[in-house]
Structure 1
Amino acid sequence: MNLPIKHPTNSPSLKWVFQTAGRTLAFGFGSGLSPIAPGTAGTLWAWGVFYIGQYIFSSQDWLGIIALSFVVGCWVCGQVSEELGKKDFGGIVWDEIVAFWLVLVIIMPTEIWLQAIAFILFRFFDAIKPGPIGMIDRYFKIQESIQPSGTYSLRANVWQGFGIMVDDLAAAFFTLLVIALGQTLLK
């Protein structure tokens, strides 16, 4: 069923973000509202939550949390993107959060300097989108432009959300690849 979409008239506000659980997640509990580098703010938020959460959850728990967060993120990011009327709006940072959690769960336990390197690499790959990351991003942006806008379709919504989420997983993969290569070369 196709339903009309209502777009906010201005940039998202803190009040607007916290009106629904989906918006709250998509905007990283408000971190995506940062006026400067919202993706970096969301990634920092993810790092802080992971740091605290590692004392509560096991690595297996984190993998489950990440898997569930990815699936929920495909719907939530697509839905909020449609509400905003903007494809992959910069303030939607749930994709950065989930992908950086994946990086951290794989490299932990490790020293803070390696976590910082992982952070810098992840932000580089996510912002610059070199090679395959950019190809994935462009593919989904082209697919989204083919979809009719102004109406709601669950299938199109989830596909759009998947497109938002997947390029960050590719950035996480390349972050982990560079860290693994660096550790191999330094041995």
Structure 2
Amino acid sequence: MTRLARPSLKNPIHLLAFGLGSGIAPKAPGTFGTLAAVPIFLLISSLSLSEYLFVVVFTSVIGVYLCGQTAKDLDVHDHPGIVWDEFVGFWIAMIAIPVSLWTLLAGFALFRLFDIWKPWPIKWVDRQVAGGLGIMLDDILAGLMALGSLHLLIALLA
């Protein structure tokens, strides 16, 4: 097994790309990254919808740079410890979702399901789009699929 390069968490770009250190987890860094995104989600969930969408778009755009630069620095495309994309993907999954324990668990589970399973077009994007955009885009799509599924679930259960 090849040993992956380690980021410098003193470098703010690496620190953010590695989800404030959550991506260092030796097993399931994507899951730990998504877990680390939950408290931040709880903080930003009180924003108005337009403010929340601004945060999501802004963090998506800067995520392209953060993830791309960190992958370049470590010389590993989509290093498993780069989890900023999981942060943003989860926040996308929770757009306009009422906050409760049930919706947090469902949003988390649906996002992780789509991120791991990678149905079309996520798998195609994951294989075809390079750099920071590729790292971010598959999780953005997984977040959108989770978002649609969660809104559908909420509507069916209402």
Normalising by structure 2, we get a TM-score of 0.89
> How many residues are aligned here?
156
Task: Note the 1:45-60 alignment, pairs <5 A.
Answer: 45-55=36-46, 57-60=47-50
Structure 1 spans left out of the alignment, 5+ residues: 1-8, 145-159
46-55 or 22-31, which moves further after superposition?
A: 46-55
Asked if the contact 2:59–2:88 (Cα under 8 Å) also holds between the matched residues in 1, the reply is: yes
Partner letter of residue 29 of structure 2? P
Residue among 13, 22, 26 paired with 2:17 = 26
Using the aligned pairs only, state the percent identity.
39
1:150 corresponding residue in structure 2: none
Determine helix, strand or coil for the equivalent of 1:106.
coil
Structure 2 spans left out of the alignment, 5+ residues: none
Normalising by structure 1, we get a TM-score of 0.76
How far residue 52 of structure 1 moved from its aligned partner, in angstroms, is 2.9
- Structure of greater relative contact order (alpha carbons < 8 Å, 6+ residues apart): 1
Residue among 118, 121, 126 paired with 1:137 = 126
Change (3 A) 1:28 1:176: same
| Segments ≥4 residues shifted beyond 6 Å | none
2:6 corresponding residue in structure 1: 12
Structure 1 residue 89 corresponds to structure 2 residue 73: no
Task: Note the 1:1-187 alignment, pairs <5 A.
Answer: 11-12=5-6, 16=8, 18-55=9-46, 57-107=47-97, 109-140=98-129, 144=130, 160-187=131-158
How far residue 116 of structure 1 moved from its aligned partner, in angstroms, is 0.4
Q: 1:115, 1:163 → 2: CA distance? A: 26
Q: Over aligned residue pairs, what C-alpha RMSD do you find? A: 1.8
Larger radius of gyration: 1
How far residue 104 of structure 1 moved from its aligned partner, in angstroms, is 1.9
Partner letter of residue 147 of structure 2? L
Asked if the contact 2:14–2:66 (Cα under 8 Å) also holds between the matched residues in 1, the reply is: yes
